[in-house]
Amino acid sequence: MEKSMEQRIELFIKNRDIMKSNFRWDNSTLYPLCACLYTEQGIEIDVLKIKKCKVIIKNNANLFSPFRGTIDLALATMLSLDKEPENKFQKILKAYEILRQEFRSSQYLPLSAFVMANMVEPLEYEVIVRKSEEIYQRMKNEHPFLTSAEDSSFAVMFALSTLTVDKVVDEMESCYQQLKGNFFSANAVQSLSHTLALGEENTIEKCNRVIDIFNGLKERRCKFGTGVELAVLGVLALITDDVKQTIEDIIKVNEALLNSKGFGAFGTGKTQRMMYSAILVEQEYKKSCIDNLMNITSINSITSIIIAQQVAITAAIAASAAASSSSN
């Protein structure tokens, strides 16, 4: 394993432990996710700043706001990474209010507002939301029973990309048709197809790559989850051209986490652990892609890589929220 990957794992474990020690009354399924957010930046959890951001959210969002729901700790952690969290949260609220005009309120809408506020200026919010709404309606037309609130986040991410609405919808549907039958959950296949649509590579090639990664892990007795977390493998399929190495890297990270306290059967659990193993590998690959853009084969811009990263975070939040609901 590369030294940088070992350091990333060590920082992730340390950050998870810091979250566990300092946020005991918050949603514990979010500890690894929050740790991932800081690990992505290569820094140690700033407890005081996260607590300050929890107060910022509390003071600016009412008790029944989705900003203060199941994923509030993750949102506070994301906000704490900003140099001017109070100003940023005002932009996020503005983005959220515009989004609410087109989409019903849900735990995913605040995340979409965060992504918008991070990637575009307020003057662009309305244009992005209109494009998002058109993409979402086209998704719903294609799959009326599968498309739900979480898909609004994907719609926003696609709207932030340079892809046209027609290109987005056509590619999503092509990927869906290619993938269906390979996984039990049609909803998970839809989320995965949304992820793969970000890449400009041939549909069959990128779909086969994610299937090969999934099957390769299964053959090595490291079966990956078949829910929305499949989107994380979709991100990996877009930024790697070496399936065997990707499988090896995920397995090595998983083994390292399994040997660390709190990541076994009575801690994070196998499905979540595998997802975070893949996210850590994806973070490492993403860093390499940005450092050496000429080596990217299927994503041709930093913006697309950043959006793909947001897809992984969205999948992790959705999976964590689902895990939290099932444990209550």
- Can you spell out the DSSP letters for 293-319? GGG-SS--SHHHHHHHHHHHHHHHHHH
pLDDT at residue 194, as a whole number:
87
- Is residue 249 in a domain? yes
**Which range in 66-70, 216-220, 295-299 is most confidently predicted, on average pLDDT?**
216-220
pLDDT at residue 157, as a whole number:
87
Task: Work out the percent of the chain whose per-residue pLDDT is above 70.
Answer: 91
pLDDT at residue 63, as a whole number:
79
Mean pLDDT of 138-165: 86
- Taking phi over 0 as left and psi of -120 to 50 as alpha, with beta for the rest, 269 belongs to left
More confident residue, 100 or 185: 100
For the cut 90, the answer to whether the pLDDT of residue 308 exceeds it is: no
Question: And the tokens for 2?
Answer: 């590369």
For the cut 60, the answer to whether the pLDDT of residue 327 exceeds it is: no
pLDDT at residue 137, as a whole number:
92
Mean pLDDT of 293-313: 62
Question: And the tokens for 188?
Answer: 């998970």
- Is residue 310 in a domain? yes
pLDDT at residue 286, as a whole number:
82
**Rg of the chain in Å (alpha carbons):** 18
Query: Whole-angstrom Cα distance, residue 33 to residue 237?
Result: 21
pLDDT at residue 2, as a whole number:
82
Query: Whole-angstrom Cα distance, residue 287 to residue 171?
Result: 26
- Is residue 99 in a domain? no
198-212, pLDDT tens digit by residue? 888 889 999 999 999
Number of domains making up the chain: 1
DSSP 8-class letter at 30: G
**Confidence label for 75 from pLDDT (cuts 50, 70 and 90):** very high
Query: Whole-angstrom Cα distance, residue 215 to residue 212?
Result: 5
pLDDT at residue 55, as a whole number:
96
The SS3 call for residue 266 is coil
Question: The tokens 């090639």 sit on which residue?
Answer: 205
For the cut 80, the answer to whether the pLDDT of residue 53 exceeds it is: yes
- Is residue 28 in a domain? no
**Max Cα distance, the chain (Å):** 50
Query: Whole-angstrom Cα distance, residue 249 to residue 157?
Result: 27
Q: What is the DSSP string of 78-90?
A: HHHTSSSHHHHHH
- Is residue 152 in a domain? no
More confident residue, 317 or 273: 273
- Is residue 291 in a domain? yes
Residue 304 lies in domain: 161-328
Mean pLDDT of 269-281: 91
Q: How many CB atoms lie within 10 A of CB 275?
A: 32
For the cut 90, the answer to whether the pLDDT of residue 300 exceeds it is: no
Specify the range with the lowest mean pLDDT, choosing from 68-72, 221-225, 261-265.
Answer: 261-265
Query: Whole-angstrom Cα distance, residue 208 to residue 200?
Result: 14
**Confidence label for 296 from pLDDT (cuts 50, 70 and 90):** very low
- Is residue 127 in a domain? no
For the cut 80, the answer to whether the pLDDT of residue 229 exceeds it is: yes
pLDDT at residue 298, as a whole number:
47
Task: Work out the percent of the chain whose per-residue pLDDT is above 90.
Answer: 52
- Is residue 89 in a domain? no
Q: Which residue stretches of the chain are H helix?
A: 3-22, 31-40, 47-60, 72-80, 85-100, 109-119, 125-142, 149-160, 165-179, 186-196, 203-219, 230-239, 243-258, 270-291, 302-327
